[in-house]
Amino acid sequence: MSAPTTPEQVRGLVADLLAAHDPATTDRLEFLRARWDAGLAWVNFPVGLGGLGAPRALQPVVDAELAAAGAPDNNPRRIGIGLGMAAPTILAFGSAEVKQRFLRPLWTGEEVWCQLFSEPGAGSDLAALGTRARRDGDDWVVTGQKVWTSQAQTARWAILVTRTDPDVPKHAGMTYFLCDMRAPGVDVRPLRQITGEAEFNEVFLTDVRIPDAHRLGAVGEGWKVAQTTLMNERVAIGGRATPREGGMVGVVADTWRARPELHTPEALDRLTALWVESEALRLAGARLRQQLAVGSVGPEGSAMKLAFARLAQELSGFEVELLGEDGLRYRDWTMVRPEVVDFTGRDAGYRYLRAKGNSIEGGTSEILRNIIAERVLGLPSEPRVDKDVAWKDLPR
């Protein structure tokens, strides 16, 4: 059977799925598994891996039909790291066995994923990481520390980048693995942040054994594999589909409408400018997703993520200023470990504090500006004195 190419064809497949598995009477997980098996999870993925080998542009048609029928989704906000980062990397670099083992429970949400990339001495300069992986027969033994790991407390699996060869320059000696978060030697500890919560964690790895079968890409090519993850991450953060006046700008606009006593000409000018910027970013994100439908992720995702972070911080700051004394109230100072970040259902004070992390997570704004300058604008790269120096000889 050839892959569908029209909305009518995929609507027919959705109708078949709904006829065989009525969402009103079918268990949620059973329905999600059936949707995967029908190739309607990611229509652009290969047959047998949740897809139909169809154009990516047909996915919104499937999603809209299922939503109209009251079908359950896979709670994408809860499993966003798996969907947006782990899955495309596994598809690009995983063996056939790895794809079959991991992609289905990842998509259905049966297994949550986290990302073990950043370290205390390797954040913006990820290639400086020092977590070591040593070969031992058919396994690798991993020791080191990772930091800023969202959802590590609930994750079943992690995407992990390690140092396998300290005798070559830092970009050349990295290798990428899938790590079992329940394996002996994995220690997850909460990190309390400015909001009072522990949304992310530090993770200590002590002689953690990972089978070589769970390696993605060749030994020493971890940087290449990680770039696929990072580019998809920036698209996932900055290029999410949102309706007009969705997200942060919608919250601020609702505050404006509900509080006419806050209105001044100056505030109206600021809100109008921020609304226009938000709408321009939303439309740019739609264009980026259209490009993804026919190609692959490029540096455009970095530009989207950079703009998203700046706008979120400006909107949250404006909201606090607009509310005056009410904007200074903060009722959420509790030590909890949320699985999902909720910007819209919280106080203005929470949004203001949490938005500070937007310019750090998923690549700092400074690094993203470098990427845009070099890969989009074609400007010369910054001088790098460590390019040909072995990792073990770098100053720390």
Give exposure, 73-91, as e/b (b: 16+ Cβ within 10 Å): ebeeeebbbbbbbbbbbbb
pLDDT at site 220: 97
Structural tokens at position 327 = 């904007």
User: How big is the chain by its Cα radius of gyration, in Å?
Assistant: 22
pLDDT at 74: 96
| CA gap 50, 103 in Å, rounded | 8
Contact 205, 142 (CB under 8 A): yes
Q: Specify the pLDDT at position 362.
A: 75
Query: For the ranges 211-225, 274-288, 303-317, which has the lowest average pLDDT?
Result: 274-288
Instruction: Report whether pLDDT(178) > 70.
Output: yes
Look up residue 308 and give its two tokens.
């998203």
**pLDDT higher than 70, residue 333:** no
Question: Mean per-residue pLDDT for 187-199?
Answer: 90
**Could you tell me which of 101, 55, 108 has the C-alpha nearest to residue 82?**
108
Task: Please determine, for residue 294, whether its predicted confidence score (pLDDT) is greater than 60.
Answer: no
Active site amino acids = 233
The whole-number pLDDT of residue 286 equals 78
Residue pair 335/342 in contact (Cβ under 8 Å)? The answer is: no
Q: How far is CA 233 from the centre of its chain?
A: 4
**Mean pLDDT, range 192-220, rounded to an integer:** 94
pLDDT at 320 over 60: yes
Local confidence band at 236 (pLDDT 50, 70, 90 cut-offs)? low
Residue 300 pLDDT grade (very low, low, confident, very high; cuts 50, 70, 90): confident
**Cα angle, residue 162 at apex, residues 366 and 388 outer, rounded to 5°:** 65
User: Which DSSP string do the residues of 2-50 spell out, in sequence order?
Assistant: PPP-SHHHHHHHHHHHHHHS-TTTS-HHHHHHHHHHTT-SSTTSPBTTT
**Average pLDDT across the chain, whole number:** 90
Percent of the residues in the chain that have a pLDDT greater than 90, as a whole number: 65
What is residue 364's predicted lDDT score, i.e. its pLDDT?
85
Confidence label for 239 from pLDDT (cuts 50, 70 and 90): low
Mean pLDDT, rounded, for 141-147: 98
Beta carbons within 10 angstroms of residue 9's beta carbon: 15
Q: What pLDDT score was predicted for residue 287?
A: 77
- What confidence tens digit (pLDDT) does each residue in 10-59 have? 999 999 999 999 999 999 999 999 999 999 999 999 999 999 999 888 99
Q: What is the pLDDT of residue 295?
A: 57
Residue ranges of domains in the chain, CATH in brackets: 10-68 (no CATH), 83-89+91-220 (2.40.110.10), 239-376 (1.20.140.10)
Q: How is residue 383 annotated by DSSP?
A: P
Spatial distance between the Cα atoms of 90 and 100, rounded to a whole number of angstroms: 10
- The alpha carbon of residue 171 and the mean position of all alpha carbons in its chain are separated, in whole angstroms, by 22
Low-confidence winner among 7-11, 289-293, 315-319 (lowest mean pLDDT): 289-293
Quick count: other Cβ atoms within 10 Å of Cβ 365?
A: 18
Owner of token pair 């400015």? 194
Beta strands in the chain (DSSP E): 113-116, 132-136, 139-150, 157-163, 174-180, 186-191, 200-211, 215-216
327: exposed, middle or buried (C-beta count within 10 Å: 0-12, 13-18, 19+)?
buried
Q: Which is higher by pLDDT, 341 or 225?
A: 225
Q: What is the dihedral of CA 375, 379, 382, 383, to 10 degrees?
A: 110
pLDDT value at position 310?
Answer: 94
Measured CA to CA, the distance from residue 249 to residue 179 in angstroms comes to 38
Mean pLDDT of the region 69-90? 94
Q: At residue 237, does pLDDT exceed 70?
A: no
Residue 6 has pLDDT above 80, yes or no: yes
Dihedral sign (CA 243, 270, 268, 342): positive
Q: Provide φ and ψ at 272, rounded to 5°.
A: -60, -45
How high is the pLDDT of residue 338? 76
Write phi, then psi, for 110 (nearest 5 degrees): -70, -30
Q: Which of 360, 337, 341 is nearest to 197 (CA)?
A: 337
pLDDT of 291 reads 66
pLDDT of residue 238: 52
pLDDT at 243: 79
Higher pLDDT, 252 or 347: 252
Q: In the structure, what pLDDT confidence band is assigned to residue 277 with cuts at 50, 70 and 90?
A: very high
Whole-number Å distance between alpha carbons of 131 and 120: 11
What is the per-residue pLDDT for 79?
95
Helix H or strand E segment including 267: helix 265-294
